[in-house]
Chains A and B, each alone.
Chain A
Amino acid sequence: MMPLESNILTIKGISVRFGGLQALNNIDIQVDRNTVHGIIGPNGAGKTTLFNVITGLIRSDSGTISLEGKELPYVKPYQLVSLGFARTFQNIRLFKEMSVLDNVMIGQHIRTPTPVFSIMINGKKSRHYENVAKEKSLEALKFMGIEKKAQETVSNLSYGQQKLVEFARALAAQPKIILLDEPAAGMNPTEKANLLNIVDRLREKGYTIILIEHDMKLVMNICDMISVLDHGKVITQGRPEEVRNNKDVISAYLGKGEYVNARNKRN
Protein backbone atom coordinates (compact mmCIF):
# COMPACT_ATOMS: atom_id res chain seq x y z
CA MET A 1 0.00 0.00 0.00
CA MET A 2 1.20 3.51 -0.70
CA PRO A 3 2.27 5.52 2.32
CA LEU A 4 -0.05 8.22 3.66
CA GLU A 5 0.64 11.52 1.97
CA SER A 6 -0.26 15.00 3.16
CA ASN A 7 -3.98 15.45 2.84
CA ILE A 8 -5.41 17.79 0.24
CA LEU A 9 -9.01 18.10 1.37
CA THR A 10 -10.24 18.20 4.95
CA ILE A 11 -13.95 18.09 5.68
CA LYS A 12 -14.69 18.94 9.28
CA GLY A 13 -18.00 18.77 11.09
CA ILE A 14 -20.21 19.38 8.06
CA SER A 15 -23.94 19.29 8.83
CA VAL A 16 -26.83 19.97 6.49
CA ARG A 17 -30.49 19.91 7.40
CA PHE A 18 -33.36 19.97 4.92
CA GLY A 19 -36.39 20.87 7.01
CA GLY A 20 -36.93 17.89 9.27
CA LEU A 21 -34.32 15.73 7.59
CA GLN A 22 -30.76 15.71 8.86
CA ALA A 23 -29.10 15.02 5.51
CA LEU A 24 -25.55 15.28 6.80
CA ASN A 25 -24.61 15.01 10.44
CA ASN A 26 -21.18 16.16 11.56
CA ILE A 27 -19.21 14.69 8.69
CA ASP A 28 -15.44 14.40 9.05
CA ILE A 29 -13.48 13.15 6.06
CA GLN A 30 -9.86 13.57 5.08
CA VAL A 31 -8.79 13.03 1.51
CA ASP A 32 -5.16 12.40 0.75
CA ARG A 33 -3.38 13.91 -2.18
CA ASN A 34 -3.04 11.78 -5.27
CA THR A 35 -5.44 9.07 -4.13
CA VAL A 36 -8.81 7.78 -5.19
CA HIS A 37 -11.24 8.25 -2.35
CA GLY A 38 -14.54 6.39 -2.53
CA ILE A 39 -17.73 7.49 -0.83
CA ILE A 40 -20.26 4.72 -0.56
CA GLY A 41 -23.47 4.10 1.30
CA PRO A 42 -27.06 3.06 0.74
CA ASN A 43 -29.49 5.26 -1.20
CA GLY A 44 -30.35 8.43 0.67
CA ALA A 45 -27.24 8.28 2.81
CA GLY A 46 -26.25 11.83 1.84
CA LYS A 47 -23.48 11.15 -0.65
CA THR A 48 -24.63 13.51 -3.35
CA THR A 49 -25.51 16.13 -0.73
CA LEU A 50 -21.92 15.95 0.45
CA PHE A 51 -20.73 16.50 -3.14
CA ASN A 52 -23.04 19.45 -3.48
CA VAL A 53 -21.64 20.95 -0.29
CA ILE A 54 -18.05 20.48 -1.46
CA THR A 55 -18.80 22.09 -4.83
CA GLY A 56 -20.75 24.94 -3.26
CA LEU A 57 -24.19 24.11 -4.68
CA ILE A 58 -25.56 23.64 -1.16
CA ARG A 59 -24.46 25.69 1.81
CA SER A 60 -23.73 23.67 4.94
CA ASP A 61 -25.30 24.64 8.26
CA SER A 62 -22.04 24.15 10.10
CA GLY A 63 -18.53 22.83 9.60
CA THR A 64 -15.63 23.75 7.40
CA ILE A 65 -13.91 22.47 4.29
CA SER A 66 -10.22 23.13 3.78
CA LEU A 67 -8.25 22.73 0.60
CA GLU A 68 -4.52 22.20 1.14
CA GLY A 69 -4.82 23.42 4.71
CA LYS A 70 -6.65 26.62 3.75
CA GLU A 71 -10.26 26.93 4.80
CA LEU A 72 -12.56 27.56 1.83
CA PRO A 73 -14.50 30.79 2.07
CA TYR A 74 -18.19 30.67 1.24
CA VAL A 75 -18.11 31.51 -2.45
CA LYS A 76 -20.27 30.88 -5.50
CA PRO A 77 -19.93 27.45 -7.14
CA TYR A 78 -18.20 28.91 -10.20
CA GLN A 79 -15.49 30.45 -8.02
CA LEU A 80 -14.74 27.07 -6.48
CA VAL A 81 -13.82 25.75 -9.92
CA SER A 82 -10.92 28.18 -10.13
CA LEU A 83 -9.74 26.98 -6.71
CA GLY A 84 -9.40 23.49 -8.12
CA PHE A 85 -12.66 21.54 -7.98
CA ALA A 86 -14.45 20.00 -10.92
CA ARG A 87 -17.28 17.51 -10.86
CA THR A 88 -19.56 15.29 -12.87
CA PHE A 89 -23.22 14.68 -12.12
CA GLN A 90 -25.19 11.59 -11.18
CA ASN A 91 -27.59 12.15 -14.07
CA ILE A 92 -25.50 13.39 -16.96
CA ARG A 93 -25.73 17.15 -17.21
CA LEU A 94 -24.17 17.98 -20.54
CA PHE A 95 -25.08 20.78 -22.92
CA LYS A 96 -27.03 18.44 -25.16
CA GLU A 97 -27.48 20.50 -28.30
CA MET A 98 -23.83 21.51 -28.44
CA SER A 99 -20.89 19.64 -29.95
CA VAL A 100 -18.66 17.45 -27.81
CA LEU A 101 -15.77 19.87 -28.25
CA ASP A 102 -17.87 22.88 -27.25
CA ASN A 103 -19.00 21.03 -24.14
CA VAL A 104 -15.45 20.32 -23.09
CA MET A 105 -14.37 23.86 -23.94
CA ILE A 106 -16.84 25.15 -21.36
CA GLY A 107 -14.63 23.33 -18.86
CA GLN A 108 -11.79 25.58 -20.05
CA HIS A 109 -13.90 28.67 -19.41
CA ILE A 110 -12.08 29.87 -16.30
CA ARG A 111 -8.64 28.90 -17.57
CA THR A 112 -8.62 31.34 -20.47
CA PRO A 113 -9.47 35.05 -20.24
CA THR A 114 -12.38 36.61 -22.14
CA PRO A 115 -11.09 39.62 -24.10
CA VAL A 116 -14.44 41.19 -25.04
CA PHE A 117 -13.13 43.86 -27.38
CA SER A 118 -10.78 41.48 -29.14
CA ILE A 119 -13.66 39.05 -29.62
CA MET A 120 -15.76 41.73 -31.31
CA ILE A 121 -13.09 42.51 -33.89
CA ASN A 122 -11.84 38.91 -34.14
CA GLY A 123 -8.48 40.07 -32.86
CA LYS A 124 -5.27 38.14 -32.39
CA LYS A 125 -5.74 37.80 -28.64
CA SER A 126 -9.17 36.21 -28.86
CA ARG A 127 -8.08 33.76 -31.56
CA HIS A 128 -5.02 32.82 -29.53
CA TYR A 129 -6.99 32.06 -26.37
CA GLU A 130 -9.58 30.18 -28.38
CA ASN A 131 -6.85 27.98 -29.86
CA VAL A 132 -5.35 27.34 -26.43
CA ALA A 133 -8.75 26.31 -25.07
CA LYS A 134 -9.36 24.09 -28.06
CA GLU A 135 -6.00 22.36 -27.71
CA LYS A 136 -6.48 21.73 -24.01
CA SER A 137 -9.99 20.42 -24.61
CA LEU A 138 -8.86 18.07 -27.37
CA GLU A 139 -6.16 16.84 -25.03
CA ALA A 140 -8.80 16.02 -22.42
CA LEU A 141 -10.92 14.24 -25.03
CA LYS A 142 -7.88 12.29 -26.19
CA PHE A 143 -7.23 11.23 -22.62
CA MET A 144 -10.74 9.78 -22.53
CA GLY A 145 -10.22 8.21 -25.95
CA ILE A 146 -13.11 9.98 -27.64
CA GLU A 147 -11.31 12.70 -29.59
CA LYS A 148 -12.82 11.33 -32.82
CA LYS A 149 -16.26 12.38 -31.61
CA ALA A 150 -15.21 16.00 -31.05
CA GLN A 151 -17.47 17.48 -33.73
CA GLU A 152 -20.56 15.37 -32.99
CA THR A 153 -23.56 16.70 -31.18
CA VAL A 154 -23.58 15.32 -27.65
CA SER A 155 -27.13 13.98 -27.81
CA ASN A 156 -26.09 11.61 -30.62
CA LEU A 157 -23.57 9.84 -28.37
CA SER A 158 -24.21 6.69 -26.38
CA TYR A 159 -24.76 6.89 -22.63
CA GLY A 160 -21.29 5.60 -21.81
CA GLN A 161 -19.66 8.06 -24.18
CA GLN A 162 -21.65 10.93 -22.73
CA LYS A 163 -20.30 10.02 -19.31
CA LEU A 164 -16.79 10.25 -20.72
CA VAL A 165 -17.55 13.65 -22.26
CA GLU A 166 -18.68 14.88 -18.86
CA PHE A 167 -15.49 13.48 -17.37
CA ALA A 168 -13.44 15.24 -20.07
CA ARG A 169 -15.26 18.49 -19.35
CA ALA A 170 -14.30 18.22 -15.69
CA LEU A 171 -10.71 17.41 -16.63
CA ALA A 172 -10.54 20.42 -18.96
CA ALA A 173 -11.13 22.69 -15.96
CA GLN A 174 -7.64 21.64 -14.81
CA PRO A 175 -8.74 20.80 -11.29
CA LYS A 176 -6.77 19.52 -8.34
CA ILE A 177 -9.68 17.39 -7.20
CA ILE A 178 -12.13 15.67 -9.53
CA LEU A 179 -15.45 14.63 -8.00
CA LEU A 180 -17.24 11.85 -9.85
CA ASP A 181 -20.86 11.16 -8.96
CA GLU A 182 -21.59 7.56 -9.94
CA PRO A 183 -19.29 7.48 -12.96
CA ALA A 184 -19.98 3.83 -13.77
CA ALA A 185 -23.77 3.88 -13.48
CA GLY A 186 -25.34 2.56 -16.67
CA MET A 187 -22.03 1.47 -18.17
CA ASN A 188 -21.44 -1.98 -19.63
CA PRO A 189 -18.48 -4.12 -18.43
CA THR A 190 -16.17 -2.96 -21.25
CA GLU A 191 -16.93 0.67 -20.51
CA LYS A 192 -16.37 0.05 -16.82
CA ALA A 193 -12.97 -1.48 -17.48
CA ASN A 194 -12.11 1.56 -19.60
CA LEU A 195 -13.24 3.88 -16.78
CA LEU A 196 -11.08 2.00 -14.31
CA ASN A 197 -8.13 2.48 -16.61
CA ILE A 198 -8.82 6.21 -16.99
CA VAL A 199 -9.07 6.75 -13.24
CA ASP A 200 -5.83 4.84 -12.75
CA ARG A 201 -4.02 6.96 -15.29
CA LEU A 202 -5.36 10.14 -13.72
CA ARG A 203 -4.07 9.07 -10.33
CA GLU A 204 -0.69 8.44 -11.91
CA LYS A 205 -0.76 11.95 -13.32
CA GLY A 206 -1.19 13.33 -9.80
CA TYR A 207 -4.90 14.09 -9.64
CA THR A 208 -6.96 13.45 -6.56
CA ILE A 209 -10.28 11.79 -7.24
CA ILE A 210 -13.32 11.50 -5.02
CA LEU A 211 -16.03 9.24 -6.30
CA ILE A 212 -19.46 8.05 -5.33
CA GLU A 213 -20.23 4.62 -6.69
CA HIS A 214 -22.63 1.76 -6.13
CA ASP A 215 -20.68 -0.87 -8.03
CA MET A 216 -18.81 -2.47 -5.11
CA LYS A 217 -16.45 -4.46 -7.28
CA LEU A 218 -15.34 -1.28 -8.99
CA VAL A 219 -15.04 0.63 -5.73
CA MET A 220 -12.98 -2.07 -4.05
CA ASN A 221 -10.73 -2.27 -7.12
CA ILE A 222 -10.17 1.39 -7.67
CA CYS A 223 -10.16 3.16 -4.30
CA ASP A 224 -7.27 3.74 -1.94
CA MET A 225 -9.59 4.86 0.84
CA ILE A 226 -13.30 4.51 1.39
CA SER A 227 -15.70 6.46 3.57
CA VAL A 228 -19.05 4.83 4.25
CA LEU A 229 -22.06 7.07 4.81
CA ASP A 230 -25.38 6.04 6.28
CA HIS A 231 -28.21 8.31 7.38
CA GLY A 232 -25.96 11.33 7.01
CA LYS A 233 -23.18 9.98 9.20
CA VAL A 234 -19.79 8.53 8.44
CA ILE A 235 -20.06 5.04 9.86
CA THR A 236 -16.56 3.94 8.96
CA GLN A 237 -13.51 4.89 6.96
CA GLY A 238 -10.55 2.89 5.83
CA ARG A 239 -8.88 0.83 3.16
CA PRO A 240 -11.16 -1.28 0.98
CA GLU A 241 -10.33 -4.54 2.76
CA GLU A 242 -11.05 -2.96 6.16
CA VAL A 243 -14.36 -1.56 5.01
CA ARG A 244 -15.44 -4.77 3.35
CA ASN A 245 -15.43 -6.70 6.59
CA ASN A 246 -16.79 -3.98 8.84
CA LYS A 247 -19.97 -5.14 10.54
CA ASP A 248 -21.54 -1.65 10.56
CA VAL A 249 -21.14 -1.49 6.79
CA ILE A 250 -22.71 -4.87 6.24
CA SER A 251 -25.63 -4.05 8.50
CA ALA A 252 -26.12 -0.67 6.80
CA TYR A 253 -26.32 -2.35 3.43
CA LEU A 254 -28.10 -5.57 4.32
CA GLY A 255 -29.88 -4.82 7.58
CA LYS A 256 -28.99 -6.12 11.05
CA GLY A 257 -30.78 -9.43 10.79
CA GLU A 258 -29.10 -10.13 7.51
CA TYR A 259 -25.73 -9.45 9.07
CA VAL A 260 -26.38 -12.04 11.75
CA ASN A 261 -27.52 -14.50 9.09
CA ALA A 262 -24.47 -13.79 6.98
CA ARG A 263 -22.16 -14.28 9.95
CA ASN A 264 -23.91 -17.48 10.93
CA LYS A 265 -23.59 -18.83 7.44
CA ARG A 266 -19.90 -18.05 7.37
CA ASN A 267 -19.42 -19.71 10.72
Chain B
Amino acid sequence: MKKNKKIFLMIAVCVLILTLPLYINNLYYLHIINLAGIYTLVTIGLNLLSGYTGQTSMGQAGFFAVGTYVSALMMMNFNFPFLVAIIIGTVATAACGLIISIPAMKLSGPYLVLATVGFGEITRLVLLNWTPVTKGAAGLTGIPYPEIFGLKITSEGQFFYLILIFVILGTYIAVRLAKSKIGRTFSAIREDDLAAEAMGVPVNYYKIAAFVISAMFAGLAGGLFGAFSGVASPDNFTFDDSVAFLCMSVIGGNRTILGGIVGAFVLTIISELLRVFQGTRLIIYGFILIFTVIYMPNGLVGIMDNIKKNYRKNNKINE
Protein backbone atom coordinates (compact mmCIF):
# COMPACT_ATOMS: atom_id res chain seq x y z
CA MET B 1 0.00 0.00 0.00
CA LYS B 2 2.69 2.43 1.08
CA LYS B 3 4.89 1.39 -1.81
CA ASN B 4 2.07 1.93 -4.28
CA LYS B 5 1.58 5.42 -2.92
CA LYS B 6 5.25 6.17 -3.44
CA ILE B 7 5.26 4.89 -7.01
CA PHE B 8 2.12 6.89 -7.76
CA LEU B 9 3.73 10.03 -6.36
CA MET B 10 6.86 9.45 -8.45
CA ILE B 11 4.86 8.99 -11.64
CA ALA B 12 2.90 12.15 -10.87
CA VAL B 13 6.12 14.14 -10.40
CA CYS B 14 7.58 12.71 -13.62
CA VAL B 15 4.47 13.61 -15.62
CA LEU B 16 4.47 17.07 -14.07
CA ILE B 17 8.09 17.66 -15.06
CA LEU B 18 7.66 16.22 -18.55
CA THR B 19 4.69 18.41 -19.35
CA LEU B 20 6.12 21.56 -17.80
CA PRO B 21 6.59 23.48 -21.08
CA LEU B 22 2.95 22.89 -21.98
CA TYR B 23 1.51 25.06 -19.25
CA ILE B 24 4.33 27.49 -18.60
CA ASN B 25 3.48 30.00 -21.27
CA ASN B 26 5.85 32.65 -20.06
CA LEU B 27 9.06 32.04 -22.00
CA TYR B 28 11.06 33.96 -19.41
CA TYR B 29 10.14 31.43 -16.72
CA LEU B 30 11.04 28.56 -19.00
CA HIS B 31 14.35 30.25 -19.74
CA ILE B 32 15.13 30.41 -16.00
CA ILE B 33 14.25 26.75 -15.58
CA ASN B 34 16.51 25.81 -18.47
CA LEU B 35 19.36 27.86 -17.02
CA ALA B 36 18.85 26.22 -13.63
CA GLY B 37 18.97 22.85 -15.34
CA ILE B 38 22.35 23.68 -16.85
CA TYR B 39 23.66 24.94 -13.50
CA THR B 40 22.38 21.72 -11.91
CA LEU B 41 24.95 19.76 -13.90
CA VAL B 42 27.75 22.00 -12.59
CA THR B 43 26.50 21.72 -9.01
CA ILE B 44 26.15 17.95 -9.13
CA GLY B 45 29.78 17.69 -10.21
CA LEU B 46 30.83 20.17 -7.55
CA ASN B 47 29.00 18.14 -4.90
CA LEU B 48 30.97 15.04 -5.82
CA LEU B 49 34.16 17.08 -5.49
CA SER B 50 33.54 19.31 -2.48
CA GLY B 51 30.71 17.57 -0.65
CA TYR B 52 31.89 14.00 -1.03
CA THR B 53 35.65 14.26 -1.43
CA GLY B 54 36.03 17.42 0.65
CA GLN B 55 38.04 19.28 -2.00
CA THR B 56 36.47 22.72 -2.10
CA SER B 57 36.72 24.34 -5.51
CA MET B 58 36.12 28.00 -6.26
CA GLY B 59 37.11 27.61 -9.87
CA GLN B 60 34.13 25.77 -11.34
CA ALA B 61 33.38 28.75 -13.58
CA GLY B 62 36.76 28.05 -15.21
CA PHE B 63 35.75 24.51 -16.11
CA PHE B 64 32.34 25.78 -17.20
CA ALA B 65 34.08 28.31 -19.47
CA VAL B 66 36.40 25.74 -21.04
CA GLY B 67 33.41 23.52 -21.83
CA THR B 68 31.48 26.40 -23.36
CA TYR B 69 34.30 27.77 -25.49
CA VAL B 70 35.71 24.47 -26.71
CA SER B 71 32.39 23.05 -27.80
CA ALA B 72 31.20 26.34 -29.27
CA LEU B 73 34.44 26.77 -31.26
CA MET B 74 34.22 23.18 -32.48
CA MET B 75 30.78 23.91 -33.90
CA MET B 76 31.67 27.34 -35.30
CA ASN B 77 35.13 26.72 -36.74
CA PHE B 78 35.02 23.07 -37.71
CA ASN B 79 31.29 22.57 -38.25
CA PHE B 80 31.24 19.61 -35.92
CA PRO B 81 27.76 18.33 -35.07
CA PHE B 82 26.48 19.39 -31.66
CA LEU B 83 26.86 16.04 -29.88
CA VAL B 84 30.43 15.54 -31.09
CA ALA B 85 31.28 19.11 -30.14
CA ILE B 86 30.06 18.79 -26.55
CA ILE B 87 31.87 15.48 -26.18
CA ILE B 88 35.08 17.16 -27.29
CA GLY B 89 34.31 20.06 -24.93
CA THR B 90 33.77 17.66 -22.04
CA VAL B 91 36.99 15.80 -22.76
CA ALA B 92 38.94 19.06 -22.99
CA THR B 93 37.51 20.13 -19.64
CA ALA B 94 38.44 16.78 -18.16
CA ALA B 95 42.00 17.41 -19.31
CA CYS B 96 41.93 20.79 -17.53
CA GLY B 97 40.62 19.03 -14.44
CA LEU B 98 43.51 16.59 -14.63
CA ILE B 99 46.05 19.40 -14.92
CA ILE B 100 44.67 21.38 -11.99
CA SER B 101 44.27 18.26 -9.85
CA ILE B 102 47.97 17.47 -9.86
CA PRO B 103 49.05 20.53 -7.85
CA ALA B 104 45.75 20.40 -5.95
CA MET B 105 46.59 16.90 -4.70
CA LYS B 106 49.29 18.33 -2.47
CA LEU B 107 47.12 21.15 -1.13
CA SER B 108 44.22 21.21 1.26
CA GLY B 109 41.88 23.65 2.95
CA PRO B 110 42.32 27.33 2.13
CA TYR B 111 45.41 26.69 -0.02
CA LEU B 112 43.45 24.41 -2.29
CA VAL B 113 40.67 27.00 -2.54
CA LEU B 114 43.22 29.64 -3.57
CA ALA B 115 44.67 27.34 -6.22
CA THR B 116 41.24 26.77 -7.72
CA VAL B 117 40.48 30.51 -7.61
CA GLY B 118 43.74 30.95 -9.51
CA PHE B 119 42.67 28.43 -12.13
CA GLY B 120 39.35 30.21 -12.65
CA GLU B 121 41.03 33.57 -13.08
CA ILE B 122 43.70 32.20 -15.43
CA THR B 123 40.99 30.69 -17.61
CA ARG B 124 39.09 33.96 -17.71
CA LEU B 125 42.22 35.94 -18.59
CA VAL B 126 43.14 33.53 -21.37
CA LEU B 127 39.66 33.92 -22.82
CA LEU B 128 39.98 37.67 -22.56
CA ASN B 129 43.42 37.96 -24.15
CA TRP B 130 43.69 35.14 -26.67
CA THR B 131 41.80 37.32 -29.13
CA PRO B 132 42.45 35.45 -32.41
CA VAL B 133 40.66 32.37 -31.09
CA THR B 134 38.32 33.57 -28.35
CA LYS B 135 37.47 36.99 -29.81
CA GLY B 136 38.55 38.60 -26.55
CA ALA B 137 36.16 40.67 -24.50
CA ALA B 138 33.54 40.69 -27.26
CA GLY B 139 33.22 36.94 -26.85
CA LEU B 140 31.66 34.42 -29.18
CA THR B 141 28.46 35.34 -30.94
CA GLY B 142 26.27 33.28 -33.22
CA ILE B 143 26.95 29.92 -31.66
CA PRO B 144 24.76 27.67 -33.80
CA TYR B 145 21.63 25.98 -32.47
CA PRO B 146 22.16 22.32 -31.65
CA GLU B 147 21.03 19.81 -34.24
CA ILE B 148 20.55 16.23 -33.13
CA PHE B 149 19.81 13.57 -35.76
CA GLY B 150 18.38 16.17 -38.08
CA LEU B 151 16.23 17.76 -35.40
CA LYS B 152 17.08 21.40 -34.89
CA ILE B 153 16.58 22.69 -31.38
CA THR B 154 15.63 26.35 -31.28
CA SER B 155 12.76 27.11 -28.92
CA GLU B 156 12.86 27.25 -25.13
CA GLY B 157 10.50 24.28 -24.98
CA GLN B 158 12.78 22.15 -27.15
CA PHE B 159 15.79 23.17 -25.10
CA PHE B 160 13.89 22.17 -21.98
CA TYR B 161 13.74 18.56 -23.15
CA LEU B 162 17.33 18.54 -24.37
CA ILE B 163 18.60 19.84 -21.03
CA LEU B 164 16.26 17.53 -19.13
CA ILE B 165 17.78 14.50 -20.87
CA PHE B 166 21.29 15.57 -19.89
CA VAL B 167 20.27 16.40 -16.32
CA ILE B 168 18.61 12.99 -15.90
CA LEU B 169 21.64 11.24 -17.39
CA GLY B 170 24.06 13.26 -15.26
CA THR B 171 22.02 12.75 -12.11
CA TYR B 172 21.79 9.02 -12.71
CA ILE B 173 25.54 8.63 -13.16
CA ALA B 174 26.29 10.88 -10.19
CA VAL B 175 23.91 8.99 -7.92
CA ARG B 176 25.39 5.67 -9.00
CA LEU B 177 28.90 6.93 -8.32
CA ALA B 178 27.89 8.43 -4.98
CA LYS B 179 26.15 5.29 -3.76
CA SER B 180 28.91 2.95 -4.88
CA LYS B 181 32.30 2.05 -3.59
CA ILE B 182 33.65 5.16 -5.31
CA GLY B 183 31.34 7.50 -3.38
CA ARG B 184 32.18 5.74 -0.14
CA THR B 185 35.88 6.12 -0.84
CA PHE B 186 35.40 9.82 -1.66
CA SER B 187 33.67 10.32 1.71
CA ALA B 188 36.42 8.46 3.52
CA ILE B 189 38.99 10.80 1.98
CA ARG B 190 36.95 13.78 3.14
CA GLU B 191 36.74 12.42 6.69
CA ASP B 192 40.38 11.43 7.12
CA ASP B 193 42.67 11.01 4.15
CA LEU B 194 45.58 9.62 6.15
CA ALA B 195 43.42 6.85 7.61
CA ALA B 196 42.05 6.12 4.14
CA GLU B 197 45.58 5.83 2.77
CA ALA B 198 46.55 3.55 5.66
CA MET B 199 43.57 1.31 4.81
CA GLY B 200 44.72 0.82 1.24
CA VAL B 201 42.96 3.64 -0.60
CA PRO B 202 45.12 5.26 -3.29
CA VAL B 203 44.06 8.70 -2.05
CA ASN B 204 45.79 10.71 -4.76
CA TYR B 205 44.16 8.82 -7.62
CA TYR B 206 40.77 9.33 -6.07
CA LYS B 207 41.38 13.05 -5.57
CA ILE B 208 42.38 13.33 -9.23
CA ALA B 209 39.32 11.32 -10.25
CA ALA B 210 37.04 13.62 -8.23
CA PHE B 211 38.51 16.69 -9.92
CA VAL B 212 38.20 15.16 -13.38
CA ILE B 213 34.61 14.04 -12.79
CA SER B 214 33.53 17.45 -11.49
CA ALA B 215 35.31 19.13 -14.42
CA MET B 216 33.48 16.87 -16.86
CA PHE B 217 30.12 17.78 -15.39
CA ALA B 218 30.98 21.48 -15.62
CA GLY B 219 32.31 21.02 -19.15
CA LEU B 220 29.15 19.26 -20.30
CA ALA B 221 27.06 22.02 -18.73
CA GLY B 222 29.25 24.57 -20.52
CA GLY B 223 28.64 22.90 -23.88
CA LEU B 224 24.88 23.11 -23.31
CA PHE B 225 25.15 26.69 -22.07
CA GLY B 226 26.93 27.89 -25.22
CA ALA B 227 24.38 26.32 -27.54
CA PHE B 228 21.51 27.46 -25.34
CA SER B 229 22.45 31.12 -25.04
CA GLY B 230 24.05 31.49 -28.47
CA VAL B 231 26.66 33.87 -27.08
CA ALA B 232 29.49 33.54 -24.57
CA SER B 233 31.94 36.09 -23.27
CA PRO B 234 34.50 36.08 -20.45
CA ASP B 235 31.97 38.05 -18.38
CA ASN B 236 29.88 34.89 -18.05
CA PHE B 237 32.64 33.10 -16.21
CA THR B 238 33.91 35.35 -13.45
CA PHE B 239 34.94 34.60 -9.88
CA ASP B 240 31.42 35.63 -8.85
CA ASP B 241 30.03 32.74 -10.88
CA SER B 242 32.38 30.29 -9.18
CA VAL B 243 31.18 31.59 -5.82
CA ALA B 244 27.58 31.26 -6.99
CA PHE B 245 28.18 27.61 -7.92
CA LEU B 246 29.69 26.94 -4.52
CA CYS B 247 26.74 28.69 -2.85
CA MET B 248 24.29 26.52 -4.79
CA SER B 249 26.12 23.42 -3.68
CA VAL B 250 26.33 24.41 -0.01
CA ILE B 251 22.83 25.87 0.29
CA GLY B 252 21.20 22.90 -1.40
CA GLY B 253 23.28 20.50 0.66
CA ASN B 254 26.58 19.32 -0.73
CA ARG B 255 26.60 15.80 0.69
CA THR B 256 23.80 14.56 -1.50
CA ILE B 257 23.23 14.72 -5.25
CA LEU B 258 19.66 15.92 -4.64
CA GLY B 259 21.16 18.86 -2.73
CA GLY B 260 22.95 19.97 -5.87
CA ILE B 261 19.72 19.97 -7.86
CA VAL B 262 17.74 21.81 -5.17
CA GLY B 263 20.53 24.36 -4.65
CA ALA B 264 20.89 25.11 -8.35
CA PHE B 265 17.16 25.74 -8.79
CA VAL B 266 16.65 27.73 -5.58
CA LEU B 267 19.63 29.98 -6.15
CA THR B 268 19.00 30.54 -9.85
CA ILE B 269 15.48 31.66 -9.01
CA ILE B 270 16.63 33.83 -6.08
CA SER B 271 19.28 35.46 -8.20
CA GLU B 272 16.65 36.33 -10.83
CA LEU B 273 14.45 37.83 -8.12
CA LEU B 274 17.43 39.85 -6.91
CA ARG B 275 18.19 41.19 -10.36
CA VAL B 276 16.75 44.50 -9.22
CA PHE B 277 19.44 44.81 -6.54
CA GLN B 278 22.36 44.19 -8.91
CA GLY B 279 25.15 45.43 -6.67
CA THR B 280 23.94 43.89 -3.46
CA ARG B 281 23.38 40.41 -4.90
CA LEU B 282 26.65 38.97 -3.62
CA ILE B 283 26.10 40.48 -0.18
CA ILE B 284 22.75 38.71 0.06
CA TYR B 285 24.39 35.49 -1.16
CA GLY B 286 26.97 35.92 1.56
CA PHE B 287 24.34 36.23 4.25
CA ILE B 288 22.45 33.20 2.99
CA LEU B 289 25.69 31.24 2.90
CA ILE B 290 26.67 32.14 6.47
CA PHE B 291 23.16 31.35 7.69
CA THR B 292 23.28 27.97 5.92
CA VAL B 293 26.66 26.97 7.24
CA ILE B 294 25.72 27.80 10.84
CA TYR B 295 22.08 26.73 11.05
CA MET B 296 21.70 24.06 8.40
CA PRO B 297 25.05 22.44 7.65
CA ASN B 298 23.35 19.84 5.49
CA GLY B 299 21.60 22.48 3.43
CA LEU B 300 17.99 22.58 2.34
CA VAL B 301 17.98 18.84 1.75
CA GLY B 302 19.09 18.31 5.35
CA ILE B 303 16.12 20.37 6.54
CA MET B 304 13.74 18.35 4.39
CA ASP B 305 15.19 15.16 5.88
CA ASN B 306 14.70 16.46 9.41
CA ILE B 307 11.08 17.37 8.70
CA LYS B 308 10.50 13.90 7.27
CA LYS B 309 12.06 12.26 10.32
CA ASN B 310 10.00 14.34 12.76
CA TYR B 311 6.84 13.60 10.81
CA ARG B 312 7.52 9.86 11.02
CA LYS B 313 8.28 10.11 14.73
CA ASN B 314 5.03 11.96 15.40
CA ASN B 315 3.10 9.38 13.40
CA LYS B 316 4.62 6.63 15.47
CA ILE B 317 3.63 8.35 18.71
CA ASN B 318 0.07 8.86 17.48
CA GLU B 319 -0.21 5.22 16.55
Residues of chain A having any CB pair with chain B under 8 Å:
55, 57, 76-78, 81-82, 86-87, 89, 93-98, 102-103, 105-107, 109-110, 112, 114, 116, 119-122, 126, 129-130, 133, 169-170, 173
Contact = CB atoms under 8 A, between A and B. Distances in A.
A91 to B, nearest CB: 11
Contacts, number: 89
A94 B192 contact: yes
A105 B196 CA distance: 11
Given A57-B194, A120-B176, A78 B201 contact: yes
B195 A95 contact: yes
B200 interface: yes
Contact of B194 (A93, A116, A120): A93
B197 interface: yes
A106 B177 contact: no
Contacts of A116: 182
Given A119-B176, A119-B177, A130-B180, A77 B185 contact: no
Contacts of A98: 184, 187-188, 191
A78 B197 contact: yes
B182 A106 contact: no
Chain A interface helix/strand/loop/mixed: helix
B182 A173 contact: no
Interface string B172-204: 010011001110110110011011111111110
Interface residues of B, number: 22
B201 A97 contact: no
B200 A93 contact: no
A37 to B, nearest CB: 19
Interface in B199-234: 199-203
A129 B180 CA distance: 10
Contacts of A126: 180-181
Contacts of A97: 187, 191
Contact of A76 (B188, B196, B197): B197
Given A78-B202, A78-B203, A173-B200, A119 B194 contact: no
A78 B200 contact: yes
B196 A106 contact: yes
Contacts of A93: 192, 194-195, 198
A55 B200 CA distance: 11
Contacts of A107: 199-200
Contacts of A95: 187-188, 191-192, 195-196
Contacts of A57: 194, 198
18 contacts: A55-B198, A76-B197, A78-B197, A78-B199, A81-B200, A86-B199, A89-B195, A93-B192, A97-B191, A98-B184, A98-B187, A98-B191, A102-B187, A106-B184, A106-B201, A122-B176, A169-B199, A173-B200
A112 B194 CA distance: 20
A77 B197 contact: yes
B158 to A, nearest CB: 27
Given A94-B192, A95-B192, A76 B202 contact: yes
B199 A102 contact: no
B192 A120 contact: no
Contacts of A106: 184-185, 188, 196, 199, 201
- Name the residue among B181, B188, B195, B202 with the largest chain A CB count within 10 angstroms: B181
Nearest to A102: B184
Contact of A81 (B181, B191, B194, B198): B198
B200 A130 contact: no
Contact of A130 (B181, B188, B201): B181
Contacts of B184: 98, 102, 105-106
A169 B203 CA distance: 17
A95 B182 CA distance: 15
Interface string B20-58: 000000000000000000000000000000000000000
Given A93-B194, A97-B191, 20 more contacts: A76-B202, A77-B198, A78-B198, A78-B202, A78-B203, A94-B192, A98-B184, A98-B187, A98-B188, A102-B184, A106-B185, A109-B200, A114-B181, A119-B176, A119-B180, A122-B176, A126-B181, A130-B181, A173-B199, A173-B200
- 5 closest A-B pairs by CB: A81-B200, A95-B191, A110-B200, A93-B195, A119-B180
A77 B196 CA distance: 10
A81 B199 CA distance: 6
A66 B176 CA distance: 41
B300 to A, nearest CB: 19
B191 A119 contact: no
Most B CB contacts (10 A, CB to CB) among A93, A96, A170 go to A93
B204 to A, nearest CB: 8
Contacts of A89: 195, 198
A130 B182 CA distance: 11
B173 to A, nearest CB: 5
A170 B195 CA distance: 11
Nearest to A172: B199
Contacts of B200: 78, 81-82, 86, 107, 109-110, 173
